[in-house]
Amino acid sequence: MTAAAPRDSRMERVASTGGVLMPILIQKMWIQSKRIGRRSALAVCGGLVLVGACSKSSPTPLAPSPLPSDTVSVPVVPTLRISSIVAFGDSLTAGVTSSVIPSSVQLEPNSSYPARLLELLNQRYSAQTIRVTNAGVPGEHAADAISRLRSELGSLQPDVVLIMEGTNDLDPDSMTPGLRGADAIESMVQDAKSRGVDPILATIPPQRPPSRETEPMVDPYNDLIRQIAIRQGVPLVDVYQIISSGQCLGAASLELSCLGDDHLHPTAQGYGLIANAFFQRLMDLYEPQSPGGSGVLSEADMSLEHAPTILGRFGTTGFE
């Protein structure tokens, strides 16, 4: 009888428990793989923690990029707090213009500084209606003009009156040339203020020597006007300085090139410079939150083409 081969005890145990051992081994292998997978996932989450990739809560959505705005920026049209201006004076206000080539002296209302001033105001303040009345009378003496000013202010009721007068008051035979005229100017300022009208004074232009015998009296008279402006606390436009320092075309070889051939009245370009100065002062005084840029046009921009028609009354006396 053949002897049975010895049996391996380990195999026997495996065989005897095969139905239980195999599932246990599989379960252990599965648990191990889960642990490995969790560690990998944690490593990934560690790298993405800043954006909340592994958070149980929903991640905070990123704000959408702003879309281009369809809003159109509309520039603000400047405005002036006044709407009615009276320019009061003699022929230098009325617009008696002295040309160089050809030599002539004639009344040209559209060349006057009030006309040029209105043009500048309309260009800048296009959203409102501004009236400039030319109340210049050639040949008038300031000493005789007080009642006329009162009449003008009473009928027109302006917001502002521009006063440039006194050239005809410079009497070379007087011991105090221009003094009566300056006294009259101060009375005009006081009368305007009493009516609620803002006065703006101006010095008178220079005269070209030696052709004008009243030329030496211009500086003393203008000093009186400057003193009135300080004493009454009103603005001053220094027309004397503007014409003295101005460079106007067509008379480059002459002293005071912005004066015409009569050595007294400005050229059309000279009146443009005067208008520019009044415009600047009005803008500084009455434009709310005035910008740094002055908006003042250059001499080249001051073309007389399309010059506006302005209100005006002109006398028939001499062009002085």
Q: 5-15: per-residue pLDDT in tens?
A: 445 544 444 44
Question: Per-residue pLDDT for 89 more than 80?
Answer: yes
- 135/151 Cα distance (integer angstroms): 11
Q: Is the pLDDT of residue 22 over 60?
A: no
pLDDT, residue 176, reads: 81
| Residue 136 · residue 298 · CB < 8 Å | no
Q: Answer for the pair 110, 271: CB distance below 8 angstroms, yes or no.
A: no
pLDDT higher than 60, residue 211:
yes
Whether the per-residue pLDDT at 116 is higher than 70: the answer is yes
CATH class of the region 84-312: alpha beta
Question: How far is the C-alpha of 229 from the C-alpha of 221, rounded, in Å?
Answer: 13
Instruction: Give residue 209's pLDDT.
Output: 85
Residue pair 302/116 in contact by the 8 Å Cβ criterion: yes
pLDDT at 17 over 60: no
pLDDT class of 300 with cuts at 50, 70, 90: very low
Show the CA angle centred on residue 206, arms to residues 246 and 244, nearest 5°. Answer: 20
Average pLDDT for the chain: 78
Q: Which of 40-44, 182-186, 249-253 has the highest mean pLDDT?
A: 182-186
**What is the predicted pLDDT for the residue at 16?**
44
Instruction: Determine the average pLDDT of the residues in 192-218.
Output: 94
Of the candidates 124, 142, 150, 143, which has an alpha carbon nearest to the alpha carbon of residue 275? 124
| pLDDT given for residue 201 in this prediction | 98
Give the tokens for residue 60.
């905070």
Question: Is pLDDT at 106 greater than 80 in this prediction?
Answer: yes
Digit-coded pLDDT (tens) for 129-175: 999 999 999 999 999 999 999 999 999 999 999 999 999 999 888 77
| Reported pTM | 0.70
pLDDT grade for 35, boundaries at 50, 70 and 90: low
DSSP 125-193: -TTS--EEEEEE-TT--GGG-HHHHHHHHHHH--SEEEEE--GGG--TTSSSTTHHHHHHHHHHHHHHH
